[in-house]
Structure 1
Amino acid sequence: MAESPKSVAFWRSFPIFEEFTPALIEEVRGLAQQRKWTAGAVIFQRGDPGDYMILVASGRIKLSLITPQGRELTLRHMEEGALLGEMAVIDGEPRSADATASVATEGYVVSKADFSAFLARNPAAMQAVMRFLCRRLRETNEQLETLALYDLDSRVARFFLLTMRQILGEEPPEEAVLKIGLSQSEIASVVGASRPKINRAILSLEEKGAIERKGASILLRTRKLRAVAEPDED
């Protein structure tokens, strides 16, 4: 990150801490332990105890599940500024997915025991974390509502745009070739449709020039995907 790990701005770049005062940031910084993971390292697996959260400072962490058919289902990629495992340190539930370092990754770890004690002695921090979790819940509700309002072509286009943002950042390039790593059946489970309908939607996006399949990879054209994703916008 551009900001020093010692700066207040660095810690506030993680959404869970964005309302924290400098004094609270200083206390959190004292709880965090720096960690490094090599590319391919398994950080945790589904079912493991959720006894710490991770703040990603650089690199990329893949969250995934193994389907009943033995295929890996990639849920998302967590990059610089991302936070994972925060729910586990609050509700005590085990990990709900596998986490693997896609590339060499650095970050900070805060244990459940330390963070719980920190919140117990800092009511202002507890309230800020509650507001953060409420925002996350509202965002999820809005995403589900939005999904119901768009036709299938738009939903699949939005899925591809979201994947680009997760991998390439909030402002992806005009074109990118990515290996999505999901079958049509798995995409269908994400956007809420049957596999045959997903196949037709992908063909439709190809006909519109928004995507182009290249073997195991796919060329994504950002502007044309946005035009399909938001058909009512000028």
Structure 2
Amino acid sequence: MPTNQYGLSLVVLRNVPLFSGLSEFELEKLSKVCGRRRVERGAFVVRAGEATDFLYILLTGRAKVTNTDEEGREIILAWLGPGESFGEMGLIDGSSRSASVVASEPCELLVLGKDAFQRCLQDNFLVAQRLMQLLVRRLREADRKIESLALLDVYGRVARLLLDVSVEEEGRRVVKKKISKQDMARMIGASREMVSKVMRDLELSGYIATEGDLVVILGS
């Protein structure tokens, strides 16, 4: 169960993008109703089909948003990192969890209950506005993924995934977060063997290069 740690939460809240722009007074009020939760690697934070009672904000660690197809195979819908939140949609429309969230490494989370979350939205237009921007961004990402699945072959889907998860670093596009071939396959709807073949072909053709755990996208 979430534990309340007033004071420590106040420090953390200042660095959460969803709550940036709130005054110290508003942050202090919010910190009094926030809890914290720690989850070990491989553990479920939430499961699909559960009632939605809390908003979660990832403070440390990484987690994956997953679902399963009709044959029980895992599909990775998204990756979450520090500062990112989940659970908003169910708190807004009262629906159950539409997907599971699993810790891919030890995670610490900030937890906000349904009543406190709804009061926060009612009292703070900035939070409501940032939440709308977050949901619009996720909708655009979902549209982009659907487009990739419908229009691109596996080569195109792998290339788009690499570009989507890459960052600019010293004038280069670099994939810094290590993603296994199996996880890549689960994200783009392909087999691990096919993803491995595509990655080899992209490297042999000079489109990407590996440097330790980094993947460098060449000519981008």
TM-score with structure 1 setting the length: 0.67
Q: Report the Cα offset of residue 185 of structure 1.
A: 8.1
Match among 83, 86, 89 for residue 87 of structure 1: 89
Determine the structure 2 residue equivalent to 1:6: 10
Contact 2:41–2:106 (8 Å) recurs in 1: yes
Alignment of 1:111-126 (within 5 A): 111-120=113-122, 122=123, 125=124
Q: Report the Cα offset of residue 111 of structure 1.
A: 0.7
Match among 102, 105, 114 for residue 103 of structure 1: 105
Q: Report the Cα offset of residue 70 of structure 1.
A: 1.5
Q: Report the Cα offset of residue 145 of structure 1.
A: 6.7
Contact 2:63–2:103 (8 Å) recurs in 1: yes
Contact 2:10–2:27 (8 Å) recurs in 1: no
Determine the structure 1 residue equivalent to 2:216: 222
| Secondary structure class of the residue paired with 1:90 | helix
Contact 1:41–1:101 (8 Å) recurs in 2: yes
Q: Report the Cα offset of residue 90 of structure 1.
A: 2.0
Determine the structure 2 residue equivalent to 1:132: 130
Alignment of 1:13-32 (within 5 A): 13-32=15-34
Q: Rate the CA distance shift 1:86–1:174 in 2: closer, same or farther, 3 A.
A: closer
| Secondary structure class of the residue paired with 1:209 | coil
CA distance in 2 between counterparts of 1:146 and 1:100 reads: 21
Q: Cα deviation per residue 1:81-116 (whole Å; 9 max; x = unaligned)?
A: 221112222222211111122222112111112222
Determine the structure 2 residue equivalent to 1:54: 56
Determine the structure 2 residue equivalent to 1:181: 182
Determine the structure 2 residue equivalent to 1:205: 202
Q: Rate the CA distance shift 1:104–1:12 in 2: closer, same or farther, 3 A.
A: same
Determine the structure 2 residue equivalent to 1:39: 41
Query: 5+ unaligned residues in a row in structure 1: which ranges?
Result: 166-170, 190-196, 214-218
Q: Rate the CA distance shift 1:114–1:37 in 2: closer, same or farther, 3 A.
A: same
| Secondary structure class of the residue paired with 1:35 | strand
CA distance in 1 between counterparts of 2:68 and 2:146 reads: 25
- Over aligned residue pairs, what C-alpha RMSD do you find? 3.8
Question: Greater CA deviation, 30-39 or 149-158?
Answer: 149-158
Q: How many residues align?
A: 201
